[in-house]
Structure 1
Amino acid sequence: MKRVGAFFGKMKGTEQAPTRPHLREILWSWVGGSAGIGAISVISLLSKLPLLMAPFGATCVLIFAATDSHLAQPRSVLGGYLVSALVGVIGLALFGNAPWVVALSVGTAIAVMQLTRTLHAPAGAMPLLALAPGTDTAMLLPTALTGALTLVGIGLLVNNLRSDRAYPRYWV
Structure 2
Amino acid sequence: MNTYLKKFKGQNEQLVPKSTISEIIFAFIGSFIAIGIIGYCTKTYDNLLIMGSFGASCVLLFGFPKSPFSQPRNVILGHFISSLTGLFFLHIVGNDYISMALALATAISLMIATRTVHPPAGSNPIIIFLLGASWDYLIFPTLIGSIILVIVSLFYNNLHKNRSYPEYWY
Fold in common (TM above 0.5): yes
Which residue matches 2:161?
A: 163
**Structure 1 pair 82–155 and aligned structure 2 pair: CA distance change class (3 A):** same
Segment of structure 1 superposing worse, 105-114 or 48-57: 48-57
Secondary structure, aligned partner of 1:68: coil
Q: Where do 5+ consecutive residues of structure 1 fail to align?
A: none
The code of the aligned residue for 2:27 comes to S
Q: Return the letter of the residue paired with 1:9.
A: K
Secondary structure in structure 2 of the residue aligned to 1:139: helix
Structure 2 counterpart of 1:30 = 28
TM, length-normalised to structure 2 = 0.94
Aligned to 1:81: 79
Deviation at 1:47, TM superposition (A): 1.0
Query: Residue in 2 aligned with 1:135?
Result: 132
Q: CA RMSD in A?
A: 1.2
| Residue 52 of structure 1, CA deviation | 2.2
Deviation string 1:78-116 (CA, Å, 9 cap, x unpaired) is: 000110111011111221111110001100000000111
Structure 2 unmatched runs, 5+: none
> Partners in 2 of 1:123 and 1:43 — Cα distance?
21
Query: Taking every aligned residue pair, what percent have the same amino acid on both sides?
Result: 36
Alignment of 1:20-169 (within 5 A): 20-132=18-130, 134-142=131-139, 143-169=141-167
**Partner amino acid, structure 1, of 2:136:** M
For the 8 Å contact 2:90–2:132, the answer to whether it is kept is: no
Runs of 4+ in 1 over 2 A off after TM superposition: 16-20
CA shift for structure 1 position 136:
3.1
**Equivalent pairs, count:** 168
Which deviates further from its counterpart, 63-72 or 48-57? Answer: 48-57
Partner of 2:3: 6
Task: State the Cα deviation string for residues 23-63 of structure 1 (Å, max 9, x = none).
Answer: 11101100111011001001101111232211000000000
